[in-house]
Amino acid sequence: MNPTDAAPVIPGAEPFSHAGSRTGVLLCHGFTGSPYSMRPWGEYLAAAGLTVEVPLLPGHGTVWQDMNLTGSDDWYAHVERALLDLARRCDEVYVMGLSMGGALTVRLAQRHPDTVRGIVLVNPSLVVEDYRLPLIAPFGRLAARLLPSTPGLTSDVSKDDTSEGGYDRVPTAAAATLPKLWRAVQQGMSGLRAPVLAFRSTQDHVVGPGSLRMLANRAVNTTVAIHLLHDSYHVATLDHDAPAIFAGSLAFVREHCESGEGADR
């Protein structure tokens, strides 16, 4: 997809970048979402002194039709470039992700074990939740011609008057590429060596408990700490438990940072 062919970026969905210390954090947003859902988290870490990057994934943050021209390979390649660029500027790098961004986060840690120091996940999507997806995956483009999109669940937030700033339609061709990403994540679990901090909402209308159950069972070469969120829905980074996520992720960086300069203490 040529970026010049995409529709204008939705206000608030722009990438976020902050130059701070030699400890960097890459934040990955979710499927049909945008940096809008991650910006408060990124700003919190930036205020603590970290270098922060929150990229906008291809096809996101504009109109859902743009997303049908992209897929999981494009999204992974985009965050991988952001990771390697951040690693050139920082001594240590952490990756954090929400929902499908959690799958991208885990995959980056699997593929770059010497680069990713630790990962933080919020309601990660790592397994098939909708069993129609594997059936349409081989016919993604054809299915998209017949049914370009389906109704989506956006802004799954318990706080009143809070929006995720994502699409309210699920682009069929783009969604059909998700099983490939999930399979790669599941097959690469033995290669995950970065410590994991994960947050799971007990009321999540998008992602069920299977993803973190799989992670806890298969991530045998690292440590996985899971914290439950009792006052948030799926987009917990914008919900009541957001302060606990932000503070917990910063404490996680400080705990694992070897340089000792990860953030102002």
Q: Which one is catalytic: 34, 99, 125, 201?
A: 99
SS3 212: helix
Q: What pLDDT is stored for residue 99 in this prediction?
A: 97
* Residue in the block written with tokens 């920082």: 90
Active site residue 204: yes
Q: How far is Cα 224 from Cα 72, in angstroms, rounded to an integer?
A: 25
Q: Answer yes or no: is 67 a known binding residue.
A: no
Please say whether the dihedral angle defined by the alpha carbons of residues 10, 249, 31 and 57, taken in this order, is positive or negative: positive
- Residue that wins the pLDDT comparison between 265 and 201: 201
Ramachandran quadrant class, 61 (left: phi over 0; alpha: psi -120 to 50; beta: rest): left
Q: What pLDDT is stored for residue 265 in this prediction?
A: 40
- Cβ atoms of 224 and 215 within 8 Å: the answer is yes
Give long-range contacts, CB 8 A cutoff, 24+ apart: 184-188: 184/107, 185/103, 185/106, 185/107, 185/110, 185/126, 186/126, 186/127, 186/214, 186/218, 188/106, 188/107, 188/110, 188/111
Pick the most confident of 129-138, 139-148, 256-265: 139-148
Q: Which one is catalytic: 66, 204, 239, 241?
A: 204
- Cβ atoms of 263 and 256 within 8 Å: the answer is no
Please, what is the average pLDDT of the chain? Answer: 91
For residue range 151-187, what is the model confidence (pLDDT) as tens digits?
877 778 898 777 777 898 999 999 999 999 999 999 9
CATH number (3.40.50.1820, 3.40.50.2000, 3.40.30.160, 3.40.50.920) of 17-256 reads: 3.40.50.1820
SS3 55: coil
Q: Which one is catalytic: 234, 239, 241, 249?
A: 234
Q: Answer yes or no: is 100 a known binding residue.
A: yes
For residue range 17-39, what is the model confidence (pLDDT) as tens digits?
999 999 999 999 999 999 999 99
SS3 131: coil
Q: How far is Cα 198 from Cα 248, in angstroms, rounded to an integer?
A: 10
Query: H helices within the chain, ranges in order?
Result: 39-47, 64-67, 72-89, 100-111, 133-136, 140-146, 172-175, 178-187, 210-218, 242-256
Q: What pLDDT is stored for residue 166 in this prediction?
A: 84
Q: How far is Cα 96 from Cα 264, in angstroms, rounded to an integer?
A: 19
For residue range 83-110, what is the model confidence (pLDDT) as tens digits?
999 999 999 999 999 999 999 999 999 9
Q: What pLDDT is stored for residue 149 in this prediction?
A: 87
Band (pLDDT 50/70/90 cuts) for residue 131 is: low
Active site residue 234: yes
For residue range 183-236, what is the model confidence (pLDDT) as tens digits?
999 999 999 999 999 999 999 999 999 999 999 999 999 999 999 999 999 999
φ/ψ of residue 53, rounded to 5: -130, 130
Q: How far is Cα 65 from Cα 48, in angstroms, rounded to an integer?
A: 37
How many other C-beta atoms can be found within 10 angstroms of the C-beta atom of residue 227?
A: 13
From 5-9, 246-250, 260-264, the region with the lowest mean pLDDT? 260-264
**25: which 2 tokens?**
């954090």
**In this prediction, what percent of the chain has a pLDDT beyond 90?**
78
**In this prediction, what percent of the chain has a pLDDT beyond 70?**
89
Q: Which of these, 198, 193, 195, lies nearest to 209 by C-alpha position?
A: 198
Q: What pLDDT is stored for residue 143 in this prediction?
A: 66
Average pLDDT over residues 73-88: 98
From 27-31, 50-54, 60-64, 255-259, the region with the lowest mean pLDDT? 255-259
Q: What pLDDT is stored for residue 150 in this prediction?
A: 85
Q: What pLDDT is stored for residue 9 in this prediction?
A: 93
